[in-house]
Structure 1
Amino acid sequence: MSDLQIRPASPADIPAIVEMLADDSLGARRESPDDLTPYTVAFERLAGDPNQHLVVAERAGRVVGTLQLTVIPGLSRRGATRSIIEAVRIHSDERGTGLGSRLIEWAVDESRRQNCQLVQLTSDVSRTDAHRFYERLGFEASHVGFKRTI
Structure 2
Amino acid sequence: MARIPCVLLVCLLSPPKAAFERLFPCLPERGAFERKEAEMPITIRKMTEDDVPEVVTMINGLATCHDDVPDIDAERLARDALGPHPWATVLVADGGSQLLGYAALLPMAQLQFGVRGMDMHHLFVCRDARGNGVGAALVRACQAEAREQDCSFMTVGTHPDNRKAGRFYEREGFLRRSGTGPRFSLRLDQPPT
TM-score range, shorter chain: 0.7 to 0.9
Structure 1 residues 13, 100: CA separation in 2 closer, same or farther (over 3 Å shift)? Answer: same
Figure out how many residues of one structure are paired with residues of the other and give that number: 146
The correspondence for 1:120, drawn from 155, 166, 179, is: 155
Opposite residue 90 of structure 1, the aligned amino acid is V
Alignment of 1:57 with 2:93, yes or no, is: yes
TM-score (norm 2): 0.64
- Give the Cα–Cα distance (whole angstroms) in 2 for the partners of residues 43 and 126 of structure 1: 32
Seen in structure 2, the aligned counterparts of structure 1 residues 31 and 4 have a Cα distance that, compared at 3 Å, is farther
Contact 1:18/1:31 (<8 A) preserved: no
Q: Which of 33, 43, 61 is the aligned partner of 1:5?
A: 43
1:20 paired with 2:55, answer no
Q: Larger % of strand: which? A: 1
CA positional deviation for 1:125: 2.3
When the two chains are superposed, the root-mean-square deviation of aligned CA atoms in Å is: 2.7
Contact preservation (8 Å) 2:44, 2:138: yes
SS of the residue corresponding to residue 29 of structure 1 reads coil
List aligned pairs for 1:1-150, cutoff 5 A: 3-23=41-61, 26-27=64-65, 29-32=67-70, 37=73, 39-48=74-83, 49-50=85-86, 52-76=88-112, 78-144=113-179, 150=187
Q: Do the aligned partners of residues 80 and 11 (structure 1) sit closer, same or farther apart at CA in structure 2, a change above 3 Å counting? A: same
- Structure 2: which 5+ runs fail to align? 1-38, 188-193
- List alignment gaps of at least 5 residues for structure 1: none
Residues 49, 82 of structure 2: 8 Å contact kept: no
Give the match's secondary structure for 1:18: helix
- Check the 8 A contact 2:109/2:115 in 1, yes or no: yes
Max radius of gyration: which structure? 2
The 10-residue stretch of structure 1 (21-30 or 128-137) with the greater mean CA deviation from structure 2 = 21-30
Q: What TM-score do you get using the length of structure 1 for normalisation?
A: 0.80
